[in-house]
Chain A
Amino acid sequence: MKDMSVALKFIPLDHYVLLCIILFSIGVLGVLYRRNTIIIIMCIELMLNSVNLLLTAFSVYHSDPTGQIFVFFIMVVAAAEVAVGLAILVMMKRNIDSVDINLLSRLKW
């Protein structure tokens, strides 16, 4: 463990920033690119995780555990969100027999 913890000494913070930006952009791209609702939800998870990673990196850099607590809470919210999102998805499939996001425009009423 002692060895591993040295990792930060070799990797500058901006690499983490860059990695997270890339992951986040991929998530955004996925939301824009796909029509399948389930994949869109997965891409949202991806974005959340990129932010989590960044929070952790900063937290370690500052030696402040608060950032990691935030990650913990984001996980809580993400879990809840997925549960509800998937429930909606199931209903959608059941009612209109499709998971196409464009058909969700009917929800506006």
Chain B
Amino acid sequence: MVTFSNIVKYAWLVPLLPFAGFLIIIFFSRLLKGKSSGIIASALISLSFLISLLMFFAQSDSAVKSITLNIFSWLDVGALKIPFELLIDPLSLNMMLIVSGVGLLIHVFSIGYMLHDERFNTFFAYMNLFSASMLLLVMGANYLILFMGWEGVGLCSYLLIGFWFKNDLYNLAARKAFVMNRIGDLGFILGIILLFFTFRTLNFSGVFAQLSAFTPNNSTIVIITLLLLVGALGKSAQIPLFTWLPDAMAGPTPVSALIHAATMVTAGIYLIARSSLLFNLAPFTLDIILAIGLITALFAATIGIYQNDIKKVLAYSTVSQLGYMFIALGLGVYSSAIFHLTTHAFFKALLFLGAGSIIHALSGEQDIRKMGGLKKKLPITFLTFLIATLAISGFPPFSGFFSKDEILMAAFARNPLIYVLGLFGALMTCFYMFRLLFLVFYNQFRGTPEQESHIHESPALISVPLIILAILSVVGGFLNFPEIFGGKAAQANFLSVSLTNYASNAGHMAVSTEWILMAVSVLFLLFIVAFAYNRFIKQKMLPAGDEIPLAFIPKLLSNKYYVDELYNWLIVMPYTALSEKVFPKMELNIIDKTVNSFGEYTMWLGEKVRRIQAGNISFYVFAMVTGVIFFIIINLYF
């Protein structure tokens, strides 16, 4: 029988195996033909998943819930002592299972999806590195290891978004993701530095142990949490750093699935949930998180309504769902955030893989205006996509219902207005998801006949992960089956070792209120579906083509509120103008001149000095003797 403390000794294998996969595939890229690299990558990550699963089961039998595994002493410089430690506790186990589990399915999917790409091997190397970084991120026992994984994830997202680097636009998208992330990272680094100066340690346990000495809203804590929040905003694509995520659609679809579902964007949520004790001491920051989450959820949802690219719709729905997670974080119900993160990982991965399957079937077409009527031709994809849509819209008993409901309940307990806004966002989500579903799968096919003749259901490698994810999307909600339905809120209890929900929300609502709210939300959802059905199936309305001018609001929305243009005008253009102004003066006249004159001076000096190195032995001896005399004199008299 494996005990928890025994199996944890092998926890280091979990991030190491995918990393080894990365190295193997990168170095033996030429030897790996056909699907072999995909199989290696999938096998290694499935091993990680198995180990995580073993740890999970061993832990549920164990009295000890959280173990810190010291691997080696990493940095030991004066007062700065940072061991390389992994923390295995319910939160990290939860994340490990998501990352490796969903990651595994995406890997398998990619074998089928990427098979004909010329850089198949490189793709899997990057995917493995991505998973390894993310696993390291969630397993690290201190902020620095977390940061290491954080940066690894940022790097891999850059590599994968720009995977088809021959397209300039894709390169720009990758660069944008990287720069946006860097802004967040800067905040995170500053936060880590401030943490160290405040607590003299970066270990989670070490930091949290000292928190009792601080009063709520202590300014240092608030600043630290704000800085960490900046990092989380960048990674989790919240306002104002969200614009990279929709552009990240430039990468291959499995990459989008990996970034949106299992890894990357969840990092910010994880960071805040992990630091829950820290954030509990800063209600001010929590309020900011709440506000940002709420705005992002609504903002992204409205944009989603007018997008015509299947992946863009999904991207904005991710931003919106992440907004919900931030709402949960801001309300201090961290376990609900993690719950929603978990269910979201299932159905968002499913949505993206489904979209991948559709795009694959249509040989690369992404515009929903050119799809339609795919229900008959892609039955598996349709069924799984339908389940995912129901889940993300929040229909009972699909997983999204429970997790979103939990958040909305907590919102209602805080302030009914937040609930109303949240519900409004959820309704919009429902609308655009059903719009997507109806436009893609119902009515007649609107593409070219040539495309139509090629439509085929995807091979098993693609459809099996879809089916598994669909099952998870259905049952995922029962992970944390709420007490009101006679459940035990298993996940919340499980996570309670790692997370401490913010105390002020402990107040319980009347059971009847909860029932009413649920009924109301379901009713509204049904109404929205009916509306969408009427609009897109009965009336067969189609989103207008790009050439037809739109009214003000649709135009605003389909152009994403002109946020990109705003950033461009506000930051990029002044920066470029400044650079162009300063370039001839600073760069050419001062910096270049300084550097060049160093070079010229050195060359001039060398020209002069080289004469004494002309091979004249007499001179050498003379110089040597003079030197000896010189040193003896120095020794004698100084």
Contact = CB atoms under 8 A, between A and B. Distances in A.
Interface of A: 28, 31-32, 35, 101-102, 104-108
Contact of B618 (A102, A106, A108): A102
A102 to B, nearest CB: 6
Contacts of A28: 625
B625 A104 contact: no
Nearest to B625: A28
Contacts of A105: 614-617
14 contacts: A28-B625, A31-B621, A32-B618, A101-B617, A102-B616, A102-B618, A104-B615, A104-B617, A105-B614, A105-B615, A105-B616, A105-B617, A106-B615, A108-B614
Interface in B565-619: 614-618
B638 interface: no
Contacts of B615: 104-108
Contacts, number: 22
B622 interface: yes
A94 B398 CA distance: 99
B621 A32 contact: yes
A28 B624 CA distance: 11
B623 to A, nearest CB: 11
Nearest to B616: A105
A107 B620 CA distance: 14
Interface of A: prevailing SS: helix
B453 to A, nearest CB: 75
Nearest to A108: B615
A16 B636 CA distance: 21
Contacts of A106: 615
A101 B614 CA distance: 13
Contacts of B614: 105, 108
Contacts of B618: 32, 35, 101-102
A102 B622 CA distance: 13
A52 B615 CA distance: 31
Contact of B622 (A32, A35, A104, A107): A32
Contacts of B621: 31-32
A63 B359 CA distance: 96
A108 B620 CA distance: 13
Contacts of B616: 102, 105
Nearest to A109: B615
Nearest to B614: A105
B323 to A, nearest CB: 73
A102 B621 CA distance: 12
B625 A32 contact: yes
Given A101-B618, A102-B616, A105-B614, 13 more contacts: A28-B625, A32-B618, A32-B621, A32-B622, A101-B617, A102-B618, A104-B615, A104-B617, A105-B615, A106-B615, A107-B615, A108-B614, A108-B615
A31 B623 CA distance: 12
Interface in B404-460: none
B610 to A, nearest CB: 12
- Chain A CB within 10 Å, residue with most, of B616, B617, B622, B625: B617
Nearest to B629: A28
Contacts of B622: 32
A102 B625 contact: no
- Chain B CB within 10 Å, residue with most, of A105, A106, A108: A105
Contacts of B625: 28, 32
